[in-house]
Structure 1
C-alpha cells in the first residue's frame, strides 16, 4: 500500500490520527508508537504470551523430529574426460 495523506484531529487533550481499515488494525488493538526524527511509527504491540506460545510450539515440533543423524559421506563423483571443455 502506498502513502496515504490524512489530517490529525483533537481527541480530548490529545492529537489523534485516523487509521484506514485497510491497515488491518481493529479498535482496541494495543500498539507501540515510536518517533524517530520527524517520522512517527505505529506498530501492533508484541503480545509476549503469544510469542512465547509460538516458540514453545516450535521447540515441541523440533523435538518431535528427533535427534540429528550423522552426516553420510558420498562416494566421489568421477567426471568423464570431455575434450574441448577444459
Structure 2
C-alpha cells in the first residue's frame, strides 16, 4: 500500500496534501487518466506539445550557434543495407 495524501477544499477548488517524499519541483503538475477506471496519475508537467515542432525550434533558437559548431560532424553511422523482408 502506498502513502496517503489528504484531500481538502481551498475555496471552490479541491487540493491534495502530498507526502514530503513525493513533492514536486516547480509550480504546475499534469493530471492524466490512470490505467484503471477512476484512477488519476499526477506527474511533473511535460514540455508543451503544440502538435508540431514549434516548441523544439523555439528552444533550438535559444542555443547560440557557436555551441552547435561541429555537432555530429565526426559521427560515423556506417553503411546500412535494408534486409529483404521477403528473404
Q: TM-score, normalised by structure 2?
A: 0.50
- Structure 1's unaligned 5+ residue stretches are 54-59, 72-86
Distance 1:16 1:63, change over 3 A: same
| 2:14 is the alignment partner of 1:5 | no
In the alignment of these two chains, the number of paired residues is 64
Distance of 1:18 and 1:26 partners within structure 2 = 15
Bigger Cα Rg: 1
Distance of 1:42 and 1:4 partners within structure 2 = 14
- The counterpart of 1:69, out of the listed 56, 73, 78, is 78
Q: TM-score, normalised by structure 1?
A: 0.50
Write the mapping of 1:4-43 to structure 2, written as runs, cut at 5 A.
Answer: 4-26=3-25, 28=27, 30-36=28-34, 37-43=37-43
- Following TM superposition, the consecutive aligned residue runs of length 4 or more in structure 1 with deviations greater than 6 angstroms are none
Distance 1:26 1:20, change over 3 A: farther
